[in-house]
Structure 1
Amino acid sequence: MDSKTILIVDDEQTTRQGLQKTLEKWSGGKYDILSAADGPEAYELFNKNKIHLLISDVSMPEMDGLKLLSKIKENGYKPVVIIVSGYPDFNYAQEAIRLGVINYLLKPLSKQKLIEAVEHALKTEASLERTSYLEKVADDKLINVDTNHDHSNSAIKEAIDFINNNIEKPITLKEVANTVHLNASYFSVLFKEHTRLTFSEFLTRKRLQIAKTLLLTTNLQIEEISFKVGYQTAKYFIKIFKDYEGVTPSKFRKISELEDAST
């Protein structure tokens, strides 16, 4: 997994360097810690790097912390944010909450309080990232099947397990029916009754869900992915993928990469 990047923005050099030193020592190289002296410099860093966590002072010349946050959100960047202020201000805090800031810390910051806030923020960021990923690969109809899997007919459970374990191979309804010792016609009716999907649709949706995962998490070529999910030709895989998802596998991957780059 790629290293997370934390950006510290503060026009006070001593404070900025102190925060950076504290976090570099705490992270032990696990995270990339960047810093900027003002809003414009910070915004330039957003254009060049994927920032996962922003720690910004509120009061800065030219572009204060809240204006910076507003600008990056307008341009599609979605880091988790901690705002730091030298004095309590209800209006600042209220606006920070509106902009989605997850913590509002007051100076002077103790090392322990800073680290606790950063750890909490990174857990939040990871949770949001997982949610975004799941939304991209989720299939509501398969979720319903998986939810009811434990309560399903034993033959259907066995059939689904067989499909999951042999997804890279050509699979036929008759083959699976034989595996669970049922007549093919009866198995077909039973499968739809328990899953609300035909055998063919379930198999296709399962293959495409795994394909989407591979598109998002690997650099495998489209042809390699098609073979891994049981399609004998990339051309047919691309056709089926587009029929279900509305875009080709390559387009799906590209759109997801652009979305990730802007978050």
Structure 2
Amino acid sequence: MLNHLALANLTRPNTISKAIDIYHKDIFKYVSNKKNMKDFLKSLNIFLYTYFLMKYNKDLETFALKNNEYINKEDNFDNLLYFGEKIVRGYSNKFTSVLKQNDHELIEDALEYINNNFNKKLTLQGVANKLHISRNYLCHLFKVQTGYKFCEYINLQRVNRAKELIEENKKTLEFISFDCGFSSQSHFSTTFKKYVGLTPNEYKKTLIYN
């Protein structure tokens, strides 16, 4: 089977024209008759199917089988040539759903990690490293998927946990500040007031006296 990796890596929507260019260059290089064309398209189809399965865990078996069925029954060379383009574009179209699925899973992993570690020192770069993606991509993805900036979400988790501990009325505000991951008492007070409208001490008094 031919190695179509260069083409497969360009099946993203923004690089599809380059993938099509490679397709035509490979046709010129490897195909000389109708039989060659059928064999080439079958090779391309199974390679792209395997690529999506292995790299993105996306099983496109039904799509691949339909492609293979058309290749088997079509005898016109020009139609086969055009259909090869449709195969490449078809896998490219599937890429959008793959990206959405992968982005959703990435954010789920990011949220799970933050929810379990918000009381520790967290940085955008640190979480990005955990997910094996770039800092800039995580920053963009986080805002798009959650509606919050990275730091905003962490602060919200810390403030919500602080509110719970204040309501329990078993720990000092100094302990709560440290336990929730705030860098200092002043940071705790400023951040708490930003999201709750009251300082931690003011919030505590509303619970005690009302």
TM-score with structure 1 setting the length: 0.40
* Largest Rg, 1 or 2: 2
Kindly indicate which of the two structures has a greater share of residues assigned to helix: 2
